[in-house]
Amino acid sequence: MLTHGLERTVRYLRERGVRITPQRQAILEYLDQTDSHPTAETIHKWLSSRMKGISLATVYNILHLYRDLGIVMELSYGDMSSRYDGNFVNHYHITCRDCGGVFDYHRDLVDGIEERAERDTGFKDVIHRVEFVGVCPGCQTEKKGAN
């Protein structure tokens, strides 16, 4: 989902002089209707079935534009493809080490930790990241079924 919904996000982009091309509109729609944290490749595959001739590079460019404008979050996983999240309100993610699925985990675990880190270190604009990794319920069921 998009943090502020599709219409408000489009308005916000227009106010910043961003031209909303059909490709840009389609990617916003896609991000608004999913909580699956897609990779650029996933979005490209889906988009290619609706529009002819859109390149993966174009999808990356659009996602990076949205990231730089602060309307999507890029989740990086070392060497693996980044995933994109239209919800930029601070929340955690939990990743399945079997299927690679990335799920939201909304919970305020460490309230006030940024302020504390700023006090301790003299840094400013501190954010924190926490990564959870495990085996998702779906993969647990599959494993049981295989036995």
Binding-site ranges for Mn ion (CB under 5 A): 85, 104
Contact status: 136 vs Zn ion (CB under 5 A) = yes
Residue from 113, 117, 126, 139 that binds Zn ion (CB under 5 A)?
Answer: 139
**Whose Cβ is closer to Mn ion: residue 31's or residue 85's?**
85
| Choice between 69 and 99, CB closer to Zn ion | 99
Q: Which helix (H) or strand (E) holds 74?
A: strand 73-77
Q: How far is CA 2 from the centre of its chain?
A: 10
Task: Looking at residues 92 to 111 of the shown chain, list those that interact with Zn ion (rule: CB under 5 A).
Answer: 96, 98-99, 101
How many Å apart are CA 104 and CA 8, to the nearest integer? 23
The set of residues, in sequence order, having a beta carbon less than 8 Å from that of 108 and lying 6+ positions away, is none
- Per partner kind, with CB cut-offs from 5 to 8 A, the member of Mn ion, Zn ion, none near residue 104 is Mn ion
Of the candidates 12, 32, 10, 36, the one whose C-alpha atom is nearest the C-alpha of residue 21 is 10
Task: Give the interface with Zn ion as residue ranges (CB under 5 A).
Answer: 96, 98-99, 101, 136, 139
